[in-house]
């Protein structure tokens, strides 16, 4: 594969490239490279659909979080995307890991990630999830319901020890879509402050000597670009910590504010300003604790999408172009099986023609997938060159988070591979799911 050694000038505008990995360049008109590797060459070598992941961008974003929150623990939220290489990158950059299942946990541990730097989440942890977490010795388990208290205590045993946190519902509405708002009273996560369930659960934990309550946890939602909800969460969580100290003499040493930091999927969309977030949260936490007479707890944050989302690009091959009903439909060889987010949340992307120079004029098109659903739309309001045709290569930026991790087996097309690019080299991280893989699970005859 061709290596690009020198930076080159792109004809795309800075605004257009604002949602692409910072390594993106255009050595020739229409030929985009990421991490020094031609996207057209990736598609030619590995086929399409294919996910391209810029290792340098992932590492840079990890370091950005470490620099913005030097006094905090930063845990990468594995649900956004996880493979063994990703676990290595996160570990190398000094981040911890947040997992939601035994599957994510075992994948991380198999990659060499230290279990004591892993936190287990989940509103409905199965017995298997808890068994594996305790067996590996995860750093913390976040308790999400009262029933987990007795289950964990029994599994630990009278002579055991496990650090735990309690997920609290702060009663704050924030997030880019109602399906990803998790800080309110009307959803499945956490224990409410307002009805006393959080306080009751904490009292029960304190009666279990083998469980060490290290702190409180909350997560407001996803795609939050405003700092204010996090400041409100700090105030409410510190208020609860103050009441716990008064009632139980309990001095909690950790406060986890979760993640959910918003990123831009299209040029011009708002994104979280991490520097401002860190400064404001730090000041609010210090002030609130001083007013309550508390020692400032160690802050924990859990970014996922904001680390890996902008580092990914999805490549598709155009199968057909159809003009009907006054609209132009550009159908590609992937769709909702490899990216269900537009159908789930109405997410909008800014696809781009790569691999050749398109016509001078841009035309409005609807980029659709290959699946048997009218809702299989990847980009409803895209603008592509008016000469787009079958065989063209379409690139969709900001495809690193919640694509492969949410991919399905719909229509038995197989999930795409993941290719890492870095310093002019491409390497396979996750191979394409083959028809043989799919058939091997069918044992019904």
Catalytic residue among 62, 100, 218, 372: 372
Tokens of 222: 């996803």
Nearest Cα to 39, choosing from 24, 29, 55, 56?
Answer: 24
Contact 348, 379 (CB under 8 A): yes
CA angle, 245 as apex, 239 and 251 as ends, to 5°?
A: 100
Q: Which SS3 state, helix, strand or coil, does residue 109 take?
A: helix
Instruction: Give the separation between CA 98 and CA 88, rounded to whole angstroms.
Output: 14
Q: Please name the residue ranges forming H helices in 293-421.
A: 305-308, 341-345
Instruction: Give 439's contacts (C-beta < 8 A, 6+ positions apart).
Output: none
Instruction: Give 392's contacts (C-beta < 8 A, 6+ positions apart).
Output: 317, 318, 353, 355, 356
Known catalytic membership, residue 372: yes
Q: What is the three-state SS of 119-166?
A: EECCCCCCHHHHHHHHHHCCCEEEECCCHHHHHHHHHHCCCCCEEEEE
Tokens of 46: 């590995």
Instruction: Evaluate the CA torsion angle 234, 259, 195, 142 in order and state its sign.
Output: negative
Name the burial class of residue 111, with classes exposed (0-12), middle (13-18) and buried (19+) by CB atoms within 10 angstroms of its CB. Answer: middle
Cis peptide, bond prior to residue 49, ω within 30 of zero: yes
The CB density around residue 98, as the number of other CB atoms within 10 Å, is 28
Residue/partner pairs of 320-329 with CB below 8 Å, 24 or more apart: 320/390, 321/388, 321/389, 321/390, 327/365, 327/366, 328/363, 328/364, 328/365, 328/366, 329/365, 329/366, 329/368
Instruction: Give the separation between CA 79 and CA 408, rounded to whole angstroms.
Output: 15
**Catalytic residue positions?**
372
């Amino acid at each position: 594969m061709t290596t690009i050694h020198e930076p080159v000038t792109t004809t795309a505008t800075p605004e257009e490239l604002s949602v692409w990995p910072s390594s993106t360049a255009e050595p020739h008109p229409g030929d985009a490279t990421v991490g020094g590797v031609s996207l057209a060459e990736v598609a030619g070598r590995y086929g399409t659909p294919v996910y391209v992941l810029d290792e340098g961008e992932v590492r840079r974003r990890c370091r950005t979080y470490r620099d913005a929150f030097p006094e905090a623990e930063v845990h990468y939220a594995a649900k956004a995307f996880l493979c063994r290489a990703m676990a290595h990158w996160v570990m190398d950059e000094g981040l911890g890991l947040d997992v939601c299942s035994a599957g994510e946990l075992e994948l991380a541990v198999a990659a060499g990630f230290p279990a004591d730097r892993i936190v287990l989440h989940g509103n409905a942890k199965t017995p298997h999830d808890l068994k594996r977490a305790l067996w590996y010795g995860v750093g913390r388990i976040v308790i999400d319901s009262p029933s987990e208290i007795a289950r964990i205590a029994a599994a630990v045993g009278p002579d055991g020890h496990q650090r735990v946190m309690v997920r609290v519902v702060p009663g704050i509405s924030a997030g880019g879509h109602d399906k990803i708002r998790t800080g309110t009273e009307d959803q499945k996560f956490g224990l409410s402050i307002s009805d006393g369930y959080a306080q009751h659960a904490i009292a029960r934990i304190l009666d279990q000597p083998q469980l060490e309550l290290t702190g409180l946890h909350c997560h407001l939602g996803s795609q939050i670009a405003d700092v204010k909800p996090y400041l409100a969460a700090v105030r409410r969580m510190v208020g609860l910590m103050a009441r716990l100290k008064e009632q139980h003499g309990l001095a909690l040493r950790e406060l986890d504010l979760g993640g959910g930091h918003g990123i831009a999927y299209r040029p011009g969309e708002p994104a979280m300003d991490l520097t401002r977030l860190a400064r404001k949260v730090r000041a609010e936490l210090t002030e609130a604790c001083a007013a309550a007479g508390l020692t400032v707890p160690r802050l924990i944050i859990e970014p996922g999408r904001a680390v890996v989302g902008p580092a990914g690009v999805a490549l598709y091959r155009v199968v057909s172009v159809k003009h009907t009903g006054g609209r132009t439909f550009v159908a590609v060889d992937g769709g909702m099986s490899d990216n269900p987010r537009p159908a789930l949340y109405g997410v909008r992307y800014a696809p781009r023609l790569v691999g050749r120079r398109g016509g001078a004029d841009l035309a409005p098109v609807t980029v659709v997938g290959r699946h048997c659903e009218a809702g299989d739309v990847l980009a409803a309001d895209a603008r592509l060159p008016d000469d787009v045709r079958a065989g063209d290569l379409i690139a969709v930026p900001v495809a690193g988070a919640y694509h492969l991790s949410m991919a399905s087996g719909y229509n038995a097309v197989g999930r795409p591979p993941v290719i890492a690019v870095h310093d002019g080299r491409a390497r396979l991280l996750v191979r394409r799911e083959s028809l043989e893989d799919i058939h091997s699970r069918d044992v019904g005859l």
